[in-house]
């Protein structure tokens, strides 16, 4: 089957460190072009990875008829503009998370994808790791009884003052950057929440630490904390009526083997899974969907639903005394 010819729309660090290497390792794709508003930077990245074409503008890459799909790791505030432009150019789109700063922007992207017939997917790589597949199988298979509580955390420290995640204009903030993972995991396991509550600490116009509560029909709940100005933490835990599952690193597992801890009463079971590169798995899943026309495991409509919850959490955190400055 013909490999998908990828164009990389920006020379952002996540693309250089994770996604371009994943494309080069994939079974379904090749890195065919890279673009930057700095032509010299694009040429340097192309030379680093052996990418045949480099462009000094995003428009030039989208005009390339030998590009089938684009990966967009631009600042959040630019996702909708360039994803829609890519769709109108007939390119399939893999866009960094969050899909957009708001659900309304994300819906415009989905509408453009439907109108033009291209595949749009949010680059939530963690959803493709075997540990998440196994977690879902365990929960839906009844190993915990009825799941009722999800707890998760994803925090770290952004040190560079010019980092785009600290810019309100560029769609920064911890809730959009890492809280999106916690919300996504909670929804994956418990469904859509009916109520949300949040408290946040703000610096420079963006939330840098946030704690949230989601409640679900039937009595389920999810508790999470996230932040980009906090000590590093990452974990996930699902509690049911009969047991508890713990993941040490649910969102960024090492490429080596991982272990899921399952506790039921006095018994403890360690489920060992082989190592995997979740970025390669994501690229190959996307490529396979384009090549065969099958429905993606993680659809763009799900990304819009995730942003609806994030919109509500940000609104809850910004009300009166709920936000600390």
Which residues contact residue 25 at a Cβ distance below 8 angstroms, ignoring those fewer than 6 apart?
277, 280
Q: How far is residue 86's CA from residue 58's CA, in Å, rounded to a whole number?
A: 9
Q: How far is residue 3's CA from residue 18's CA, in Å, rounded to a whole number?
A: 19
Contact yes or no for 108/150 (Cβ under 8 A): no
What residues act catalytically? Answer: 97
Both tokens of 242, joined, read 């009969």
Tell me how many degrees the CA angle 190-123-240 measures, rounded to the nearest 5: 20
Using alpha carbons, select from 186, 187, 167 the residue that is nearest to residue 177: 167
Using CB atoms within 10 A of its CB, is residue 290 exposed (0-12), middle (13-18) or buried (19+)?
A: buried
Both tokens of 75, joined, read 């600042």
> Read out DSSP for 77-92?
GGHHHHHHHHHHTT-E
Q: How far is residue 267's CA from residue 130's CA, in Å, rounded to a whole number?
A: 23
| Helical axes 130-140 vs 180-190, angle rounded to 10° | 30
Using CB atoms within 10 A of its CB, is residue 272 exposed (0-12), middle (13-18) or buried (19+)?
A: exposed
Which residues contact residue 320 at a Cβ distance below 8 angstroms, ignoring those fewer than 6 apart?
none
C-alpha distances in Å from residue 150, one per residue of 137, 196, 209, 212 = 16, 14, 19, 12
């Amino acid at each position: 089957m013909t490999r998908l010819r990828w164009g990389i729309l920006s020379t952002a660090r996540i693309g250089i460190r994770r996604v371009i290497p994943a494309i080069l390792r994939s079974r379904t794709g090749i890195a065919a072009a890279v673009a930057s508003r700095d032509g010299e930077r694009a040429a340097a990245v192309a030379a680093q990875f052996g990418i045949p074409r480099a462009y000094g503008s995003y428009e030039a890459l989208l005009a390339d008829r030998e590009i089938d799909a684009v990966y967009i790791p631009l600042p959040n505030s630019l996702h909708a503009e360039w994803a829609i432009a890519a769709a109108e150019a007939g390119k399939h789109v893999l866009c960094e998370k969050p899909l957009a700063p708001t659900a309304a922007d994300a819906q415009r992207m989905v509408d453009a994808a439907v109108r033009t017939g291209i595949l749009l997917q949010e680059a939530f790589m963690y959803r493709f790791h075997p540990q998440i597949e196994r977690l879902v199988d365990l929960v839906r298979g009844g190993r915990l009884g009825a799941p009722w509580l999800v707890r998760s955390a994803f925090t770290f420290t952004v040190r560079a003052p010019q980092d785009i995640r600290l810019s309100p204009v560029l769609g920064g903030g911890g809730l959009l950057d890492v809280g999106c993972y916690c919300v996504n995991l909670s929804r994956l396991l418990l469904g859509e929440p009916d109520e949300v509550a949040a408290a946040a600490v703000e610096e420079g116009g963006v939330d840098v630490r946030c704690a949230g509560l989601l409640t679900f029909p039937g009595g389920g709940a999810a508790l999470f904390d996230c932040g980009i100005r906090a000590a590093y933490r990452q974990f996930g835990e699902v509690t049911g009526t009969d047991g508890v599952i713990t993941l040490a690193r649910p969102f960024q597992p090492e490429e080596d083997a991982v272990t899921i801890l399952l506790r039921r009463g006095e018994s403890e079971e360690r489920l060992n899974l082989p190592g995997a590169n979740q970025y390669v798995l994501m690229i190959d899943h996307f490529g396979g969907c384009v090549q065969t026309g099958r429905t993606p495991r993680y659809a763009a409509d799900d990304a819009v639903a995730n942003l609806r919850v994030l919109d509500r959490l940000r609104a809850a955190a910004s009300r009166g005394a709920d936000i600390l400055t």
